[in-house]
Structure 1
Amino acid sequence: MIESKPKMTFHVESVRVDSHSSISKCKNAKITLDTDILGNTDAFNPAELLLSALSACIIKGVERTVPILQFQLHSIEVIVDGVRQDVPPRMESIFYKIIVDSEESEQRLNLLHENIKKFGTVFNTIAPGTNLNGILVRRQN
């Protein structure tokens, strides 16, 4: 009999602070949330959190892939832009740009990008319901 690996689970708790913000806690971390209907420039709103989660997923995917591929990497930057549809309210499209500082070949950069798209939990959760597109480019010095 093949033993299955236990599924990963996640736990976040959020509490309303006031009419302007809330706090989400996870492990030893916390983040301020913009839950003000007029907006709060000192916190992430739900859509920005989603885009941040995608950014984090991409960077974590790189961190996971780099040792496996023995990929040489100096730095990575991810820029994400989303377009919201009003009716029904949802993210209509998301575009990302991954900027990698590396001397690896174009073929290896493409391989890194394919691994990000194939193995990212948040990436693969968002992709089926959103027009999700992006590029991976080499940093120009």
Structure 2
Amino acid sequence: MLHYAITARRVDATGSVAGARDAEVVLDTSLAGREDALNPVELLLAGLAACMIKGVERAAPLLHFDFAGVEVRLEAERQDSPPMITAITYELIVDSPEPDRRLELLHTNVRRYGTISNTLAASTSLSGTIRRA
């Protein structure tokens, strides 16, 4: 079993930082909001995007899948009471000459073996598509 850990701390009333190893991320924890930092929902979506891109990186060598780039576009729907994410949709865009059936095979692998995507899919509606860039 793997173990993950981060540390987050409040800097001041305008924000916080989170870190792990040598990496640090500025967090929008201000009540007024910040344009230069990700808020908690955006961080959740960024984690999902990273999981999906890493999934492509992991699956491509196993499938001998040729690609030059990956982009993920995500949207979340949030209800107010109680506050929670009710749905996440994504578009996985892959720059690849591979045929459509191989693109779908890659998508299946990304969905099946993603730690964050599997965790989120167990608690909210997670749906999306894959397409060629």
Same fold (TM over 0.5): yes
Matched with 1:80 is: 74
Q: What are the superposed Cα offsets for residues 40-86 of structure 1, whole Å, 9 maximum, x if unpaired? A: 11111100000000000000000000100010001111111111111
- In structure 2, stretches of 5+ residues that fail to align are none
Q: Distance in 2 between matches of 1:25 and 1:136?
A: 31
Partner of 1:94: 88
TM-score (norm 2): 0.98
Aligned to 2:114: 120
Q: 2:56 aligns with which of 55, 62, 69?
A: 62
Alignment of 1:1-141 (within 5 A): 7-139=1-133
Calculate the aligned-residue CA RMSD, in Å.
0.7
State the structure with more CA Rg: 1
What's the CA shift string for 1:1-58, capped at 9, x where partnerless? Answer: xxxxxx1111100010001100001011000000011211111110000000000000
Aligned residue for 2:88, secondary structure, equals: strand
Deviation of the 1:129 alpha carbon: 1.4
2 CA distance for matches of 1:8 and 1:64? 17
Tell me how far 1:105 sits from its aligned partner.
1.1
Q: What TM-score, normalized to structure 1?
A: 0.92
Unaligned 5+ runs, structure 1: 1-6
